[in-house]
Amino acid sequence: MIDVLESTSQTLRELAQDGEAEGTVVVAEEQRAGRGRLGRGWSSPKGGLWFSVLLRPAVHPSEAPKLTLMAGVAVAHALKKHVRLDARLKWPNDVLVQGKKLCGILAESRSNKKLEYVILGIGINTNFLVSALPEELHKTAITVRELLRKSVDRLSLMRAILNELEAGYSAFCSGDFGEIIGQWKKLSETLGRNVRVETGTGIVEGVAEDVDPGGALVVRTPEGLVTVDAGDCVHLRQDPMDN
């Protein structure tokens, strides 16, 4: 484990450009410039589990976002088996426990007509308290240490996640994404909820009804069903008057 990096995904991207092999993992004790989705930062204090995995799947670039859902399922299964946490998934890339964010996943890919590589970045709030995060996250984030009232062995948790990722990735590469979507739906905290999704082109609001075979979210709006490929999803309270 490297002590401090700007970002494990940034370091792994540089290695990937130099031809590093699939399966390489970069892990850091602390990140100075952790990256989140949609150009946001990702606060990564000492005590967290911050790592990135290099994948080179032989699929069309449009398939790459599915790896985010695959990774969510892998992390949730590992958390359940390894530390008995009841992890749930929020579309597309958050792992929640007790409705709060425990883990974020960021899949970044590079293609040049064909997909060259995908960097799967996984950040888990493990052995610190949310007070170590910026104040705006105190109500929405949670850590393993807070949930279990003790610290976890991060390397063995990472090993458990890597094992689950290996199984999910091999299903993905054999074209068995249907199985992964089925598991994702079982773990979903999003389906059946009122949601607001900010897409690149506007806001979609309604009930999250399904995830389609490609991993897109299907939302029932007053105007009918809308399929959202990517976006920032917020779970709304069930009573719209409460929002």
* Binding residues vs ligand BTN (CB under 6 A): 7-9, 31, 34-37, 40, 42, 44, 50-52, 93-94, 104-106, 121-123
Q: What angle do CA 211, 214, 217 make, to 5 degrees?
A: 30
- Shortest gap between Cβ of 101 and ligand BTN (angstroms)? 7
- Shortest gap between Cβ of 242 and ligand BTN (angstroms)? 25
The residue sitting closest to ligand BTN, measured at its beta carbon, is 104
- Shortest gap between Cβ of 120 and ligand BTN (angstroms)? 8
The nearer residue to ligand BTN, 95 or 191, going by C-beta atoms, is 95
**Strand ranges of the sheet holding 194-199, from the earlier edge strand across to the other edge:** 224-228, 217-221, 202-211, 194-199, 232-235
- Which pair of structure tokens corresponds to residue 137? 């996250």
The nearer residue to ligand BTN, 31 or 194, going by C-beta atoms, is 31
The nearer residue to ligand BTN, 102 or 204, going by C-beta atoms, is 102
Strands (E), 56-113: 88-90, 94-97, 100-112
- Shortest gap between Cβ of 15 and ligand BTN (angstroms)? 13
The nearer residue to ligand BTN, 103 or 226, going by C-beta atoms, is 103
CB atoms inside a 10 Å sphere around CB 109: 17
Rounded Cα–Cα distance for residues 82 and 109 (Å): 29
Buried/exposed 87-98: b ≥16 CB within 10 Å, e otherwise: bbbbbbbbbbbe
- Shortest gap between Cβ of 241 and ligand BTN (angstroms)? 29
The nearer residue to ligand BTN, 35 or 82, going by C-beta atoms, is 35
